[in-house]
Amino acid sequence: MKIDHSLPLEYGTDQNQLNILGFWIFLGAEIMLFGTLFASYFTLVDRTGSGPSGAEIFEITPVLIETIVLLTSSFVIGLGVHAMRIGRTKAMITFYAITLLLGLTFLGVEIYEFMHYVHIGAGLQVSAFTAILLTTLGTHGAHVTFGLVWGFFIILQVRKHGITPETANKSFIFSLYWHFLDVVWIFIFSFVYLKGMM
Amino acid sequence: MEFFERFAIPHPSAPIYASMVAIGLTVIAIVAGLTYFKKWGYLWREWLTTVDHKRIGIMYLISALLMLFRGGVDAIMMRSQTAIPENTLLDAQHYNEVFTTHGIVMIIFMAMPFIYALMNFVVPLQIGARDVAFPRLNALSFWLFFMGAMLFNISFVIGGSPDAGWTAYFPLAGNEFSTSVGTNYYALALQIAGLGTLMSGINFIVTILKMRAPGITLMKMPMFTWSALTANVIVVFAFPVLTVALIMMTMDRLFGTHFFATTNGGMDMLWANLFWVWGHPEVYILILPAFGVYSEVISTFARRNLYGYKSMVASMVGISFLSFLVWTHHFFTMGQGALTNSIFSVTTMAIAIPTGIKIFNWLFTMWKGKIEFTVPMLYAVGFIPIFTIGGVTGVMLAMASADYQYHNTMFLVAHFHYTIIPGVVFAMIAGLTYWWPKMFGFMLNERIGKWAFWFIAISFNVTFFPMFFTGLDGQARRMYTYSEATGFGPLNMLSFIGALGLAVGFALIAYNVYYSTRYASRNISADPWDARTLEWATQSPVPAYNFAITPQANSSEAFWDAKKKGHELFKGEVQKIHMPSNSGVPFIMSCIFFIWGFSFVFSLWIPAILATIGIFICMAQRSFERDPGYYISVKEIKETESKLRGA
Amino acid sequence: MMELFPRKQVIGFGFSLLLTAIALAVYFFDLSFTAGMTILLVTAFVQAAVQLVVFMHAGETGDKGSIYTNIYYSLAIALVTVFGTLLCMIWGYV
Ligand code: HEM
Ligand SMILES: [Cu+2]
């Protein structure tokens, strides 16, 4: 396999470059996916039927925790990529592991939040608003869950094979995914929660 | 017994029982045949596990042709039912099922795989690439599409077909009015096929952006490749919308949510909106590759380079963006007010501009050319006037206030068939005939092909032109019958006659395939049409590695330059070529997806959970797999080359 | 040898915390709808840009053009979808 040393390892081979560009284009599709969810959310936000509205059910504390945790995890995985680029396998694995732990924390808080909603009578089937709210949050949450498993697999592979063009490529792509989820969350935080509580 | 009752057909009839028997017998015959001729191993090794873009293209092609005939039978049934007033061949429920499946089958399971068949086969060759960027993903795309199609097609023998129209508008498509599992099939089958399409979209964009042979800059790409690029850009950004809409539909139907319901704040119009946010771009996904095919065919058979290359590219890029700005024209009558309608009226009419530019470019290409009327060229020349009628009536429909008159009448039906049939179907037949020798190493018979063309072109107009008039007279679409007093009878009879003619035309194409397979000469050159682009520079049929030496291009017609202007395509020595290895995982994973979809359709939660786990196991397998591929040695390449050249 | 200390990342992180804090203003202060939305729109999009450039290294290879085109294109179409939907579903009716 030809390896180009002028670029970071994750871009090293032709296939690696294809993978990264392909993933970026996939992220473009994801932007449309969440864009559609947002379009539906804004359409249905005031259609609460006999159920509660956003202002009545949102709470700032869990949302703030989720936000800080996810922002931090995005920063930490950035550190992981940095470590990877200077060849520090141990540090990289540690940073990736911390990222996943933070992701797990996020997920825990989100599950708590969902149970709370159901508990106070804002379950999935209550109204169009609750349905689109939980679907939007749930789609993001499902992405995070998927990311946790995927990230775990990647850590296993880096441990086994070290930082090779192949594992570096996978790790880098995973970091793109993770940052993207953070970006989506920022929009959820701003336009679902903060706008709802404004 | 109770468990099995859910699989029964809610509205059975003799033809459905007959189809059940026919399907059963076919399956037995296929299994028996494969066993008898000991072909299971061959099927598995050479086709089910292949990651070769050419074979995947051919599998798309076969699926598309099968679906064309399935959709065609639906069409004949509809036209027979409406041929005379108050006919009782089909009842209202059957008629609903037939027009619903006709629409879905034709658009999603015939036109889409057809364009992907040609793109798969042709695009890597036109840009001098070894394969697509992600061969394994490509196989997964195909199998997901295929399993989606199978899931959709079993609906009419297990559990009942969808019956709410290919647009599946709510509240009609909700549980209240669509009580059978038919609409579940719609949601799940489209979801699975749609995932495959999205992956193809990404795959082709990366392939075209990153894998072009040296010298092929973006502005030196052949026009079909450009059309593939722009169509796939639309795919990547339009299909996620369908994904989300279908998830919501599934949740409404299976989990009791209220997205599109009429109670608890639900909004049925939101479905129509999301459907068309995807749906309008979808029609341009279909038409752009067709434009690409015509560009290749016209410049080949006018013996001239394409007129206005840059404006062709610009108009396709323009269309790929504009197609996202017009969706509201499908529901002008929903009541969103004059301002909104006006905005979308204007954007809709704007789309006619790039389309018009292209028409003129083709005309100018032919103007100075020496036209040779081969079968592909006949379709291209026939396309121009017929499609123009479709476009002009489209602009009529685009006038929001006038659309209150045309909407949901046969006029609309005539419009979109006047765009889709010359646009997509003609183009696909043209492309098929044109690239057939590259695919299979022999040509389709021109004489039979011309007969088929004339049957199809004339019958098409006989079928659909009368609908403009019955539509203006007020015949609504999707009505299973009408009274004698309406006076629609004679024109509908004419349509029926036309439909029969179309059937004859398509049967002739099928016969042509049979005839040419048996009798056509295998002794043809690699370039039988005297064509211009790179795919004709390699052998026919194309060897697994495509090009022994990566070609070097200097224009969008590098092969023509090589033939006429002494440009040297293949510089350097043959080197060993890296190939991806075959894999059964895409096929297996798609089978699991089929089970997954089927379980959701019938709300069988345990198999659904198991299938979900199975899907994740397949993904995990992929993550941990190390796939180094293999190499074809120089010796082997040289042997293959001299064998093919000698033949 | 690359520098050991990830300066870029640390600055980016500080910046994104700051933007979050600014966005929180709409919760803690009684702002008009317009003012609040303006703040949210600005902070959200700047925040997204920070992630894109600092953390996702969007511009570091020869594919920079393709990547940015892709992002802008999808963003443009997503915005058209959001606002077009609002136009057809809500604003058109008042
Ligand atoms: C000049 C370009 C075009 C314009 C201005 C145009 C305009 C329109 C309008 C306004 C409608 C909605 C009418 C109604 O529901 O009352 C419509 C429907 C439709 N158009 Fe076009 N169109 C154009 C080209 C095309 C092309 C190229 C295709 C396909 C390849 C196409 C396929 C369709 C389909 C499938 C429908 C109807 C779908 C349904 O309701 O089931 N159109 N067109
Ligand atoms: Cu349209």
Question: Is A6 inside a domain boundary?
Answer: no
- B229 within 8 A of A49, measured Cβ to Cβ: no
Peptide bond connecting B12 to the previous residue in cis, omega within 30 degrees of 0: no
- B102 within 8 A of B200, measured Cβ to Cβ: no
Tell which C residues from 25 to 54 touch B, by Cβ distance under 8 Å. Answer: none
Q: Phi/psi class of residue B373: alpha, beta or left (left: φ > 0; alpha: ψ in -120 to 50)?
A: beta
State the average pLDDT for chain A: 93
Question: Is A145 inside a domain boundary?
Answer: yes
What's the rounded Cα separation, in Å, for the pair B633 and B635?
5
Give the mean model confidence (pLDDT) for residues B70-96: 93
Best probe of the C interface among A61, A64, A68, A179, by most C CBs < 10 A, is: A179
Q: Render pLDDT for B177-226 as a digit per residue (tens, 0 to 9).
A: 999 999 999 999 999 999 999 999 999 999 999 999 999 999 999 999 99
Same domain, C45 and C65: no
Q: Render pLDDT for B524-572 as a digit per residue (tens, 0 to 9).
A: 888 999 999 999 999 888 999 999 899 998 888 889 888 888 888 888 8
Q: Render pLDDT for B135-152 as a digit per residue (tens, 0 to 9).
A: 999 999 999 999 999 999
Bridge partner list, B409: B476
Residue A3 binned pLDDT confidence (cut-offs 50, 70, 90):
low
Question: Atom 31 in ligand 1: which residue has the minimum CA distance?
Answer: B416
Out of B415, B421, B468, mutate this one to test ligand 1's pocket (max ligand atoms within 8 Å of CB): namely B415
The whole-number pLDDT of residue B321 equals 93
User: Could you tell me the two tokens for B246?
Assistant: 């279908």
Same domain, C69 and C93: yes
Check CB contact of C24 with chain A, cutoff 8 Å: yes
- The yes-or-no verdict on residue B647 having pLDDT over 60 is no
Neighbour count for residue B199 (Cβ, 10 Å): 24
Q: Which atom number of ligand 1 is nearest to the Cα of residue B165?
A: 41
Same domain, C21 and C51: yes
CA-based nearest residue in chain B for residue A50: B264
CA C48 vs. chain centroid, Å, equals 3
Quickly list DSSP for B316-360.
HHHHHHHTTS-GGGGGGGG--HHHHHHHHHHHHHHHHHHHHHHHH
What's the rounded Cα separation, in Å, for the pair A84 and A9?
9
Residue B18 binned pLDDT confidence (cut-offs 50, 70, 90):
confident
Inter-chain CB proximity B267 and C93 less than 8 Å: no
Residue B410 binned pLDDT confidence (cut-offs 50, 70, 90):
very high
For B261, which DSSP code? Answer: S
Give the mean model confidence (pLDDT) for residues B571-595: 92
Measured N-to-C along each axis, helices B337-367 and B375-398 cross at an angle, to the nearest 10 degrees, of 160
Answer yes or no: is the C-beta of B416 below 6 A from any ligand 1 atom: yes
The whole-number pLDDT of residue C1 equals 44
Identify which of B237, B273, B334 has the shortest CB distance to residue C85. Answer: B273
Inter-chain CB proximity C6 and A180 less than 8 Å: no
Nearest residue to B353 (alpha-carbon basis) of B318, B402, B400, B385: B318
What's the rounded Cα separation, in Å, for the pair C38 and C34?
6
The whole-number pLDDT of residue B646 equals 63
β-strands B630-632, B577-579 pairing: antiparallel
Same domain, C69 and C51: no
What is the three-class DSSP state of A80? helix
Out of B282, B291, B397, B409, mutate this one to test ligand 1's pocket (max ligand atoms within 8 Å of CB): namely B397
Question: Is A56 inside a domain boundary?
Answer: no
Domain of C15 in residue numbering reads as 1-56
The C-alpha angle B299, B300, B301, rounded to 5 degrees, equals: 95
Same domain, C24 and C37: yes
Question: Is A8 inside a domain boundary?
Answer: no
The whole-number pLDDT of residue A5 equals 66
CATH code for the domain in which residue A131 is found: 1.20.120.80
Number of domains observed in the structure of chain A: 1
What's the rounded Cα separation, in Å, for the pair B60 and B484?
44
Nearest CA-CA distance, residue A88 and chain B, Å: 22
CA-based nearest residue in chain C for residue B269: C89
Answer yes or no: is the C-beta of B348 below 6 A from any ligand 1 atom: yes
Inter-chain CB proximity A125 and B257 less than 8 Å: yes
Quickly list DSSP for B281-304.
HHHHHHHHHHHHHHHHHHHHHTTS
Inter-chain CB proximity C12 and A75 less than 8 Å: yes
User: Could you tell me the two tokens for B480?
Assistant: 């299973």
Q: List Cα–Cα distances, B289 to B294, B491, B625, in angstroms.
A: 9, 33, 35
Answer yes or no: is the C-beta of B398 below 6 A from any ligand 1 atom: yes
How buried is B564 (Cβ within 10 angstroms: 0-12 exposed, 13-18 middle, 19+ buried)? Answer: exposed
- The yes-or-no verdict on residue A1 having pLDDT over 70 is no
Give the mean model confidence (pLDDT) for residues C58-67: 83
Neighbour count for residue B162 (Cβ, 10 Å): 28
- A109 within 8 A of A66, measured Cβ to Cβ: yes
CA Rg value for chain C: 18
Nearest residue to B281 (alpha-carbon basis) of B112, B168, B102, B417: B112
Strand (E) or helix (H) holding B97: helix B92-104
Q: Render pLDDT for A131-182 as a digit per residue (tens, 0 to 9).
A: 999 999 999 999 999 999 999 999 999 999 999 989 999 999 999 999 999 9
Q: Render pLDDT for B347-359 as a digit per residue (tens, 0 to 9).
A: 999 998 999 999 9
Answer yes or no: is the C-beta of B479 below 6 A from any ligand 1 atom: no
Inter-chain CB proximity A28 and C54 less than 8 Å: no
What is chain B's percent helix, strand, coil content, to nearest 5?
Answer: 70, 0, 30
Identify which of A32, A78, A182 has the shortest CB distance to residue C78. Answer: A32
What's the CA-to-centroid distance between B83 and ligand 2, angstroms? 28
Q: List Cα–Cα distances, A188 to A8, A42, B134, C35, in angstroms.
A: 33, 12, 33, 19
What is the three-class DSSP state of C9? helix
Give the mean model confidence (pLDDT) for residues C46-67: 84
The whole-number pLDDT of residue B61 equals 96
State the average pLDDT for chain B: 93
Q: What does pTM read for this prediction?
A: 0.95
What's the rounded Cα separation, in Å, for the pair B403 and B394?
10
Same domain, C31 and C70: no
Candidate from A8-22, A173-187, B369-383 with smallest mean pLDDT: A8-22
Check CB contact of B388 with chain C, cutoff 8 Å: no
Number of domains observed in the structure of chain C: 2
Question: Atom 25 in ligand 1: which residue has the minimum CA distance?
Answer: B419
Find tokens 């199975």 and name the residue. Answer: B614
Same domain, C52 and C65: no
Inter-chain CB proximity B237 and C89 less than 8 Å: no
User: Could you tell me the two tokens for B80?
Assistant: 């027979």
What's the rounded Cα separation, in Å, for the pair B272 and B341?
15
Domain of A68 in residue numbering reads as 13-48+61-197
Question: Is A117 inside a domain boundary?
Answer: yes
Nearest CA-CA distance, residue C6 and chain B, Å: 29
Same domain, C45 and C77: no
Question: Is A152 inside a domain boundary?
Answer: yes
- B124 within 8 A of B53, measured Cβ to Cβ: yes
The whole-number pLDDT of residue B360 equals 93
Give the mean model confidence (pLDDT) for residues B507-531: 92
For B407, which DSSP code? Answer: T
CA-based nearest residue in chain B for residue A127: B264
- A174 within 8 A of A147, measured Cβ to Cβ: yes
What's the rounded Cα separation, in Å, for the pair A183 and A181?
5
Sign of the dihedral through C-alpha A100, A37, B184, B586: negative
Protein residues within 5 Å, CB atom, of ion ligand 2? B 280
- The yes-or-no verdict on residue B464 having pLDDT over 80 is yes
Question: Is A77 inside a domain boundary?
Answer: yes
Same domain, C45 and C87: no
Residue B1 binned pLDDT confidence (cut-offs 50, 70, 90):
low
Question: Atom 16 in ligand 1: which residue has the minimum CA distance?
Answer: B407
What is the three-class DSSP state of B579? strand
